[in-house]
Amino acid sequence: MQVRRSARSARPVSALAGLLLAAALALTGCSAADDSGADGADKAAGARADSQADSGAGSGAGYEEGKGGAADDGKASAPPKLTPDHVIHTASLTVEVENVPKALARARAATESAGGYVGEESTARDEEGAEYTEVVLRVPVDAYDKVLAGLEGTGRLVERNAEARDVTDQVVDVDSRVKTQRASVARIRELMDRATKLSDVVTLEGELSSRQAELESLLARQASLKDRTDLATITLSLSERPAGRDDGSDDPGFTDALTGGWDAFVTVLRWVVVAVAAVLPFAAALLLLVVVWRRVVRPQLPRRPAPAPAATALGPLPSARPAPRPAGGSEGGAGTEES
C-alpha cells in the first residue's frame, strides 16, 4: 500500500516538474526575443540620431552649445537648401558713358582684378562720329555679382539681361560617359595585346580608333562645360552719350526740337527733289513733242479756205461799215455849236 501511494505521489510531481521546465523555457525564449528586439530598436534609434546629427552639423543649424539634448530633439531641424552644383551664368549690359576708352579701361581693370580676362572686343563709330565698343568679359563665378554691379555703375544703364542655367545633369552625364568610354578603350587595348591573328588586330584597331574619337569628343564637351561653369560671361556694350542730354531726363529741349524740325525740313526737301527728278524725264519728253508739233507737223497741214461772203439774187449783201467819227472830235463839236 505504501508503494502504491509513493508511485501515485511521484506522478504528479514529475508532471509538475515538466510544466515548470516548459514554462521556464518559454520565459527564456520571450526574454531573448525581447532583448533582440530591444537591441534592434536601440540600433535603429542610434542610426537615426547619428544621421540627424550629421545633417544638422552639415546644414549649420544654429543651436547654442551647453543646452540639453531633450530640447534639441524637440525642435525640427530646417531642411538644407539645395543649390545646383554646375550653373552657367551669362549677362549682357548696354551702358551710355561720356568717355568710351576710360570706361573700357575700368572694365578691363575690374575683370583682371577679379581673376578673369577679356575674350573679344570690337570698336566702331556711327554716322555722327560717336564711338561704340562691345567687349566680352570672362570672370570667375565667385566674383560675377560684384563685377556685374560695378559695370552697371559705369554710366547710364540702358539695358540689362542676365541668365543662370543649371547644367548639373549634363555634367554628371558627360562625366559618367567619359569613365565608361575610358574603360572601353582600356579593354580594347588589352584585347589588342592578346590578339595573335592579323585580322583580329585590324578589327580591334578600327574599333579602338572609333572609341578613341568618341572619347575625345566627350572630353572636349566636358572641358567646355567646365569652362562655362567656372567662368561667367558678360557682354558689355559701351556707347557715347550725346553732349546735350542729361543722365536723369530724356525729355527733348529747344535744341532737340530745332534739330528735329531741321531734319524734317531736309527730309521733305529731299523727297521733293526726288519727286521732281523722277518727273523731269517725262516733262522733257512732253515738251519735246509739243515743240515738234508746233514747229514741224502743224505748218505742213493743209489750211482751211476763208469763208466767202453771203450773196442773194440781187447781188452780194453790203457789208457793214463803221460809223464815221467827227472831224474835230469832242472839242470840234463844241466849237461848231458855239459858232
Alpha helices in the chain (DSSP H): 2-59, 69-74, 100-113, 144-152, 168-194, 198-230, 254-292, 298-300, 329-338
Mean pLDDT for the chain overall = 73
Q: Which pLDDT value is given to residue 64?
A: 40
Q: Which pLDDT value is given to residue 20?
A: 58
CA-based torsion, 262, 267, 271, 277: positive or negative: positive
> Quick one: CA torsion of 262, 267, 271, 272, rounded to 10 degrees?
0
| CA dist., res. 200 & res. 191, Å (int) | 9
Q: Which pLDDT value is given to residue 35?
A: 45
The pLDDT of residue 175 is above 90 = yes
The pLDDT of residue 188 is above 50 = yes
Of 77-91, 94-108, 162-176, 198-212, which range is least confident? 77-91
Q: Which pLDDT value is given to residue 58?
A: 40
Q: Which pLDDT value is given to residue 242?
A: 61
Q: Which pLDDT value is given to residue 219?
A: 94
The pLDDT of residue 54 is above 60 = no
| CA dist., res. 165 & res. 168, Å (int) | 9
Q: Which pLDDT value is given to residue 294?
A: 84
Binning the chain into helix, strand and coil, the percentages to the nearest 5 are 60, 15, 25
The pLDDT of residue 3 is above 80 = no
| CA dist., res. 245 & res. 5, Å (int) | 132
Q: Which pLDDT value is given to residue 181?
A: 92
| CA dist., res. 122 & res. 172, Å (int) | 36
The percentage of the chain sitting over the pLDDT mark of 90, rounded to a whole number, equals 27
Q: Which pLDDT value is given to residue 196?
A: 85
Pairwise pLDDT comparison (334 vs 19), residue with the higher score: 19
The pLDDT of residue 70 is above 80 = no
| CA dist., res. 145 & res. 156, Å (int) | 18
Q: Which of 234, 218, 235 is nearest to 226 (CA)?
A: 218
Q: What's the pLDDT tens digit per position in 304-315?
A: 766 655 555 555
Cβ contacts of 152 within 8 Å, gap of 6 or more: 93, 95, 160
Pairwise pLDDT comparison (167 vs 72), residue with the higher score: 167
Task: Please give the CATH topology (third level) of the domain spanning 87-167.
Answer: Alpha-Beta Plaits (3.30.70)
DSSP 8-state assignment for residue 67 = -
The pLDDT of residue 5 is above 50 = no
Per-residue confidence band for 129, with pLDDT thresholds at 50, 70 and 90 = confident
DSSP state letters, 127-147 = TT--EEEEEEEEEEGGGHHHH
| CA dist., res. 86 & res. 82, Å (int) | 12
- Are 237 and 123 in contact, with CB atoms under 8 Å apart? no
Q: Which pLDDT value is given to residue 72?
A: 46
